[in-house]
């Protein structure tokens, strides 16, 4: 396959970076970013990060925000939904279309018997339209309630948060719903995150990125680990996307960089 090389990410055979640009093509068409701990620090997004997202949109790429938060909770602290083509909420349970403000459930709403069991057992929780959220140290009690009722529910951890959704629902399935609407392949996606619930998000994307403050387990499985934290890391990632589709970044899943635009082979097994 002349002119092709093994991608430093997950998509198999692909054009070397110097050919992407000589042919005026963008390798990555969409950035999916987590909110808390990634784009935001302590719930707040810096203006420099907002400006970077604007630059990415102006480059012709699309943006999807992927978060475990409920929509009312997120709108109370963040207003720039206009920057995003879609917002995946409740850890994959809800899809939001910022332009029309439409919401689409991606799974069943919380089970009434499960909510009653949590109340009966005095387990603190907050219920969204699809997700039920508690927090550490109540994960064992939450699991016990699920098991007692024989429900097909899964627990997902996000640092101190304990999120419950129907089995199979996560950030990856939520992002896929957004990609289906936007008609974009996962092979054209870069995803960035910091915590346990970002594993599926990074796995399903062509290039998975961890910010510097990410949990060690997420860094271990990321294609790229940034040297900056939170929004500063996202800014560096955006600048790299705009400059050369991340050709200047070193993949942590191999031993070489594609910084010089040459075709390199990385062992991703």
pLDDT by residue (tens digit) across 186-237?
A: 999 999 999 999 999 999 999 999 999 999 999 999 999 999 999 999 999 9
Categorize the per-residue pLDDT at 253 as very low, low, confident or very high, splitting at 50, 70 and 90: low
| 10 or 222: which leads in pLDDT | 222
Q: Grade residue 258 by pLDDT with cuts at 50, 70 and 90.
A: very low
What are the start-end ranges of the H helices in the chain? 17-22, 47-58, 71-75, 112-120, 139-149, 171-182, 199-204, 216-221, 230-244
DSSP 187: G
**Cβ within 8 Å of residue 73, ≥6 positions away:** none
| pLDDT band for position 7 (cuts 50, 70, 90) | very low
Question: Boundaries of CATH 3.90.1070 in the chain?
Answer: 112-166
CATH architecture for residues 112-166: Alpha-Beta Complex (3.90)
The residues near 119 (Cβ < 8 Å, ≥ 6 apart) are: none
5-106+169-244 CATH fold = Rossmann fold (3.40.50)
pLDDT on residue 248:
85
Average pLDDT score over residue span 162-174: 97
Helix, strand, or coil here: 191? strand
pTM for this prediction: 0.85
Both tokens of residue 175?
């992002």
CA distance 262 to 269: 21
101: Cβ contacts below 8 Å, ≥ 6 apart: none
CA-CA distance, 54 to 8, in Å (whole number)? 27
Intervals of CATH 3.40.50.1000 along the chain = 5-106+169-244
Give the closest residue to 220 by CA, choosing from 258, 265, 253, 257: 253
User: What confidence tens digit (pLDDT) does each residue in 25-61 have?
Assistant: 789 999 999 999 999 999 999 999 999 999 999 999 9
128: confidence class by pLDDT, cuts 50, 70, 90: very high
* pLDDT higher than 60, residue 10: no
Residue 82's pLDDT is: 97
CB-based contacts of 3: which residues, under 8 Å, 6+ apart? 15, 16, 19
Return the H-helix or E-strand segment holding 166: strand 161-166
pLDDT score, position 51: 98
């Amino acid at each position: 396959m002349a002119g092709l090389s093994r991608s430093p990410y997950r998509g198999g055979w692909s054009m070397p970076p110097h050919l992407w640009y000589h042919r005026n093509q963008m390798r990555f068409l969409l950035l999916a970013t987590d909110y808390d701990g990634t784009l935001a620090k302590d719930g707040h997004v810096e203006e420099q990060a907002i400006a970077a997202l604007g630059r990415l949109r102006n480059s012709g790429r699309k943006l999807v925000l992927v978060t475990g938060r409920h929509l009312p909770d997120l709108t109370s602290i963040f207003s720039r939904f206009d920057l995003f083509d879609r917002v995946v909420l409740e850890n994959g349970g809800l899809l939001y279309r910022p332009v029309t403000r439409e919401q689409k459930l991606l799974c069943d709403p919380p089970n009434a018997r499960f909510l009653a069991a949590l109340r009966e057992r005095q387990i603190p929780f907050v219920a969204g339209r699809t997700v039920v959220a508690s927090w550490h140290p109540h994960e064992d009690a939450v699991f016990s309630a699920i098991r007692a009722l024989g429900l097909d529910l899964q627990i997902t951890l996000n640092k101190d948060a304990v999120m419950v959704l129907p089995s199979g629902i996560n950030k990856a399935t939520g992002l896929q719903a957004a990609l289906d609407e936007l008609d974009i392949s996962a092979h054209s996606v870069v995803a960035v995150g910091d915590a346990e619930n970002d594993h599926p998000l990074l796995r399903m994307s062509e290039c998975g990125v961890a910010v510097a403050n990410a949990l060690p387990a997420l860094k271990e499985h990321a294609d790229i680990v940034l040297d900056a934290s939170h929004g500063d890391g996202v800014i560096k990632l955006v600048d790299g996307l705009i400059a050369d589709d991340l050709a200047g970044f070193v993949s942590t899943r191999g031993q070489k960089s594609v910084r010089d635009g040459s075709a390199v082979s990385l062992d991703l097994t």
